[in-house]
Amino acid sequence: MFMDYKILATTFMMVFLAELGDKTQLATFCLSAENNSKLSVFLGSAGALVLSSLIAVLCGTAISRLIPVNYIKIAAGVFFIVVGAWTIYSVVKVT
Protein backbone atom coordinates (compact mmCIF):
# COMPACT_ATOMS: atom_id res chain seq x y z
CA MET A 1 0.00 0.00 0.00
CA PHE A 2 1.39 3.40 -0.98
CA MET A 3 0.14 6.95 -1.06
CA ASP A 4 -0.94 8.15 -4.50
CA TYR A 5 -0.85 11.94 -4.13
CA LYS A 6 -2.71 12.56 -7.38
CA ILE A 7 -5.66 10.43 -6.20
CA LEU A 8 -5.42 12.08 -2.76
CA ALA A 9 -5.64 15.57 -4.28
CA THR A 10 -8.43 14.58 -6.70
CA THR A 11 -10.47 12.98 -3.92
CA PHE A 12 -9.94 15.98 -1.64
CA MET A 13 -11.08 18.45 -4.29
CA MET A 14 -14.11 16.38 -5.36
CA VAL A 15 -15.35 15.87 -1.80
CA PHE A 16 -14.54 19.45 -0.77
CA LEU A 17 -16.43 20.94 -3.71
CA ALA A 18 -19.33 18.49 -3.31
CA GLU A 19 -19.71 19.38 0.38
CA LEU A 20 -19.71 23.17 -0.11
CA GLY A 21 -23.17 24.50 0.57
CA ASP A 22 -24.82 21.12 1.08
CA LYS A 23 -27.17 20.14 3.91
CA THR A 24 -24.32 18.85 6.06
CA GLN A 25 -22.44 22.14 5.89
CA LEU A 26 -25.60 24.11 6.60
CA ALA A 27 -26.38 21.89 9.60
CA THR A 28 -22.85 22.39 10.92
CA PHE A 29 -23.21 26.15 10.32
CA CYS A 30 -26.42 26.24 12.36
CA LEU A 31 -25.00 24.09 15.16
CA SER A 32 -21.93 26.28 15.48
CA ALA A 33 -24.08 29.42 15.47
CA GLU A 34 -26.22 28.23 18.38
CA ASN A 35 -23.57 26.47 20.51
CA ASN A 36 -20.64 27.87 22.42
CA SER A 37 -18.43 24.81 21.96
CA LYS A 38 -17.19 25.36 18.41
CA LEU A 39 -14.54 22.66 18.84
CA SER A 40 -17.22 20.09 19.72
CA VAL A 41 -19.21 20.99 16.61
CA PHE A 42 -16.09 20.83 14.45
CA LEU A 43 -14.91 17.49 15.85
CA GLY A 44 -18.41 16.01 15.62
CA SER A 45 -18.92 17.05 12.02
CA ALA A 46 -15.37 16.10 10.99
CA GLY A 47 -15.73 12.70 12.66
CA ALA A 48 -19.05 12.09 10.92
CA LEU A 49 -17.54 12.94 7.52
CA VAL A 50 -14.56 10.66 8.17
CA LEU A 51 -16.82 7.79 9.26
CA SER A 52 -19.17 8.17 6.29
CA SER A 53 -16.12 8.28 3.98
CA LEU A 54 -14.75 5.10 5.60
CA ILE A 55 -18.06 3.35 5.02
CA ALA A 56 -18.06 4.51 1.38
CA VAL A 57 -14.50 3.25 0.82
CA LEU A 58 -15.22 -0.13 2.42
CA CYS A 59 -18.48 -0.56 0.49
CA GLY A 60 -16.89 0.61 -2.76
CA THR A 61 -14.04 -1.85 -2.32
CA ALA A 62 -16.38 -4.75 -1.57
CA ILE A 63 -18.87 -3.98 -4.33
CA SER A 64 -16.14 -3.42 -6.94
CA ARG A 65 -15.06 -7.03 -6.36
CA LEU A 66 -18.53 -8.22 -7.40
CA ILE A 67 -19.60 -5.65 -9.99
CA PRO A 68 -17.42 -4.07 -12.71
CA VAL A 69 -16.49 -0.45 -12.00
CA ASN A 70 -18.10 0.76 -15.25
CA TYR A 71 -21.48 -0.59 -14.08
CA ILE A 72 -21.06 1.11 -10.72
CA LYS A 73 -20.33 4.44 -12.45
CA ILE A 74 -23.34 4.04 -14.74
CA ALA A 75 -25.60 3.17 -11.79
CA ALA A 76 -24.33 6.19 -9.84
CA GLY A 77 -24.95 8.45 -12.85
CA VAL A 78 -28.48 7.09 -13.33
CA PHE A 79 -29.13 7.50 -9.59
CA PHE A 80 -28.08 11.17 -9.68
CA ILE A 81 -30.21 11.83 -12.77
CA VAL A 82 -33.25 10.18 -11.15
CA VAL A 83 -32.77 12.12 -7.90
CA GLY A 84 -32.29 15.36 -9.84
CA ALA A 85 -35.42 14.75 -11.93
CA TRP A 86 -37.40 13.83 -8.81
CA THR A 87 -36.19 17.00 -7.08
CA ILE A 88 -37.19 19.18 -10.03
CA TYR A 89 -40.56 17.41 -10.24
CA SER A 90 -41.13 17.93 -6.51
CA VAL A 91 -40.33 21.65 -6.72
CA VAL A 92 -42.50 22.21 -9.79
CA LYS A 93 -45.37 20.17 -8.29
CA VAL A 94 -45.32 22.20 -5.06
CA THR A 95 -45.27 25.61 -6.76
pTM to 2 decimal places: 0.72
Q: What integer pLDDT is reported at residue 86 of this predicted model?
A: 92
Phi/psi class of residue 74: alpha, beta or left (left: φ > 0; alpha: ψ in -120 to 50)?
Answer: alpha
Q: Flag whether 45 is in a domain.
A: yes
pLDDT tens-place string over residues 47-91: 999 999 999 999 999 999 999 999 999 999 999 999 999 989 888
Q: Flag whether 91 is in a domain.
A: no
Number of domains in the chain: 1
Q: Flag whether 88 is in a domain.
A: no
Domain span at residue 12?
5-67
Given pLDDT bands bounded at 50, 70 and 90, which one contains residue 93?
confident
Q: What integer pLDDT is reported at residue 1 of this predicted model?
A: 66
Residue 63, CA atoms < 13 Å, CB-side half-sphere: 13
Q: Flag whether 79 is in a domain.
A: no
Q: Flag whether 84 is in a domain.
A: no
- Residues 6 or more apart whose CB falls under 8 angstroms from that of 35 comprise 41
CB-CB contact of 15 with 53 (8 Å) = yes
